[in-house]
A and B are shown apart, each in its own frame.
Chain A
């Protein structure tokens, strides 16, 4: 085991060909016979090659200053709102160095997109949310100008860091040179990067994002699971939001996926009355004409609950319930539930 540690320590020297002949030979022999060290060595080499692919860029003055300060070479400069960290973060061995490089690339892209959004997009009056790639690249306390998710975005090259980290998936590249004389060119492309948005379920940005995703059939797979997650989160009265309810109502009306419609009506029926009241029409429509009996069944059960809780049902609702109760070819369970809802309607005296 101690030999493994020694070999691991020697790996950087082996990479840079700084070992003497004897120790180099011993190290190679150990790596060939020890599986763990072999894997470690492969990871080192892969990282080394990845680093070799990265372009060399000048170190920004601020970073350089911080590094020299930390190394004790330059005098300490303390900004007003910052205190120098005395913590020493040890370099950890990472067997999957490729992931680190990819994460860094995503961080670069997200950061670039943030700057671009800051410059090019219209200001949006929404609650800010934290955008990160899994490991926070910005401190939570950092002040963000809200940026919007957009279908397309235009940005200046100056706003984009010259470093491209990892190998982000770029496709459908087009070159644009609108004016040959202005010494400006454009390159347009699609890029796939993974975003993680964190925030309180009540944040308007979060609500809007989830509503958009709910209404977009292809955005969530499997959708039923996603709906279940929404149900668990937003049936809590503390997080209930009309926008989510409206999105669910749209799903109930329009989604061709029956499993999803079943989840949507289930979710709608668990929303607090104050939020769900705007979506009653969707329930009525579902009860009236959804081809899936389970959707109709859950819709009528939701209406029974409404009536039982003393909510005033609209004439359209009452008519639909009445028609359902009397409809001979409707499922008996649905008819009985409709009758149950009707029996809750009493005249005001």
Chain B
């Protein structure tokens, strides 16, 4: 016990000593630069807060606070050596750059952040480039303003000319009574809030995928996909362009007028295109739909969100603008449409219609067949007992056990189809723009075969059939060779049409090993 206590004491001492060794020092400095009326001040400050305020001054007056943190004296000195201010430009365009800052891109064992308080002539234009800060604030500037940031919020107040602010993970706040130039406020993961006088006239564009668009101003306009285009008050005026991929967008009234309680979601104010007959629709914001068992039919649509339901005892009609769809068992017909994201479907008892614009599709079984389409991705169908059409814009197609006719087409990828062992004959159409076609059939499978290979390498790309009875012809067409195998196998049967460009065609009767399917 004593020993353990001693060890704990030593550990605590070491930890305390090491934390005590972290050196942190703040240095202050002042700068003054001349700037002509209408001139531009450019500040490149990778790490640290920035405050720039327009004032009745003739020169740029800047105070900076450099904070250096390092685990020991040597690294502290290294940080001091590698940091500094770079000044450039002239009285028309003044540039100040803080150098050798630490960002997340190239981590160093020390950090140097610089906090700026700057007063500029009111008529000046301002450009600020930053990576990370808690806040960048620019106010009372009459010239153009341009701010780019990665992490941290951007606050813009009382700016009358053209304004551009862009962030990735930060929110943007804009507060100007009457904008006189076009304004662009754009972020990826943050929110955008613009506060403008209630009687100002301007055009408003708001674009978000997962967030909501809200306002308490009298807007009118329409949605084009996820983008709202409209106007506030009288037609015309500058354009306020607000966009956030993942966050909310708010347009609020300043200077009295509507109360905060009157803020409403824009989709509820203007007409929204809705999916007819959909029992649940999410028009704005991310909306996942996750259930274990649904005892009735399901109709669900969302612009963004995952849909995961283990069992549906009725029909399913699912739409997502972007997201994964996973359905376990569907006892009725199943229609799934995604504009982007993978689909994983289990036992589908009814007719299946599944499509995605990007992503893989895995279907365990479809009893009545159907249509499975992806614009890019692999398709794996483990069992089908109904006529099934499979189409990929690029990716492999695998049908593990087909007890009905199959039509498979991919622009680039291999097609592998295994016919059910009990089938005597099935209609098969398989076509790949680049790749191989492999059809595995029972030994007694009868078919009228028409297989074509289009290739520039006739010795490399070959036709092989385990069942005899086909005659092979070769034809030279331009720079390519067309190898065609036609005839009846096992006395003939349904039509089997295969086409491969730049690949092999095989009709095999060998046993197929178990399918290894990668599930998400």
Partner-B contacts on A (CB < 8 A): 218, 221-225, 228, 232, 256-260, 262-263, 266, 291-297, 312-315, 318, 322, 325-326, 331-336, 339, 342-343, 345-349
| Minimum distance in angstroms from B270 CB to a CB of chain A | 21
Tell me if B376 and A292 are in contact (CB < 8 A): yes
**Which 5 pairs, one residue from A and one from B, show the smallest C-beta to C-beta distance?**
A333-B340, A259-B413, A293-B358, A347-B132, A258-B394
Q: Are A342 and B189 in contact (CB under 8 A)?
A: yes
A222 partner, pick from B342, B393, B414, beta carbons under 8 A: B414
**Contacting B340 at CB < 8 Å: which of A224, A297, A339?**
A297
Say yes or no: A297 contacts B359, CB within 8 Å. yes
- Told that A294-B377, A342-B168 touch, could you supply 13 new A-B pairs with CB distance under 8 A? A224-B396, A224-B414, A256-B412, A258-B434, A259-B378, A296-B358, A297-B358, A314-B105, A318-B105, A333-B338, A333-B358, A335-B245, A348-B111
> Separation in Å of the B125 CB from the closest CB of chain A?
24
Give the contacts of B77-128 with A (CB-CB under 8 A).
Answer: 102-107, 111
Q: Which residues of B contact A314 (CB under 8 A)?
A: 105
On whether the beta carbons of B209 and A345 are closer than 8 Å, the reply is: no
Per a CB cutoff under 8 Å, which of A257, A312, A322, A336 touches B246?
A336
10 A-B interface contacts by CB (under 8 A): A218-B457, A222-B396, A257-B435, A263-B396, A293-B377, A297-B342, A333-B340, A333-B341, A346-B169, A347-B132
* A257 with B168: CB separation less than 8 A: no
Would A322 and B209 be within 8 Å (CB), given that A293-B357, A331-B358 are in contact? no
Is there a chain A Cβ closer than 8 Å to B131's Cβ?
Answer: yes
CB distance from A327 to the nearest CB of B (A): 10
With A296-B358, A334-B340 as contacts: A326 and B169 at CB distance below 8 Å: no
Q: State how many angstroms separate the Cβ of B39 from the closest Cβ of chain A.
A: 30
A256→B412 CA distance, assembly (Å): 8
Once bound together, how far apart are the Cα atoms of A79 and B416, in whole Å? 55
The residue in chain A whose Cβ has the minimal distance to the Cβ of B151 is A347
Contact of B414 among A259, A326, A332, A348 (CB under 8 A): A259
Report how far A166 CA is from B360 CA in the complex, Å: 47
List A contacts of B410 (CB < 8 A): 258-259
Return B518 CB to nearest CB of chain A, in Å.
8
Give the interface residue-count category, chain B.
Answer: 35 or more
- When distances are taken between beta carbons in the complex, the residues of chain A under 8 Å from B107 are 312, 348
For B131, list chain A residues within 8 Å (CB): 347
The interface residues of chain B lying within 8 Å CB-to-CB of A326 are 186, 188, 245
Q: A331: shortest Cβ distance to chain B, in Å?
A: 4
Q: Is there an interface contact between B321 and A332, defined as CB atoms closer than 8 Å?
A: yes
B413 touches A325 (CB 8 A): no
Instruction: Indicate if the CB atoms of B341 and A312 lie closer than 8 Å.
Output: no
Question: Bound complex: CA of A222 vs CA of B413, how far in Å?
Answer: 9
Interfacial chain A residues near B395, Cβ < 8 Å: 258-259, 262, 292, 294
* Cβ–Cβ < 8 Å partners of B399 in chain A: none
Contact A259 B394 (CB under 8 A): yes
Is A335 touching B104 in the complex (CB atoms < 8 A)?
no
> Is B322 an interface residue when CB atoms closer than 8 A count as contact?
yes
The yes or no answer to B375 lying at the interface (CB within 8 A) is yes
Which residues of B from 283 to 336 have beta carbons under 8 Å from A?
304, 321-323
Contact with A along B171-183 (1 / 0, CB 8 A): 0000000000000
Nearest B residue to A349, CB-CB: B111
A218-B460, A343-B169 known; A294 and B378 CB under 8 Å? yes
Question: When the two chains form their complex, are residues A294 and B358 in contact, meaning their CB atoms are under 8 A apart?
Answer: yes
- Provide the residues of chain B in CB contact with A345, threshold 8 Å: 104, 150-151, 168-169
Q: Is the CB of A293 within 8 A of B375?
A: yes
By the criterion CB–CB under 8 Å, are A331 and B357 in contact? yes
**A331 to B434 alpha-carbon distance, docked (Å):** 24
Chain B neighbourhood of A258, CB < 8 A: 376, 394-395, 410-413, 434
Given contacts A292-B393, A347-B132, contact A256 B413 (CB under 8 A): no
**In the complex, what distance in Å separates the CA atom of A218 from the CA atom of B504?**
11
Does B477 touch A at the CB level, under 8 Å? no
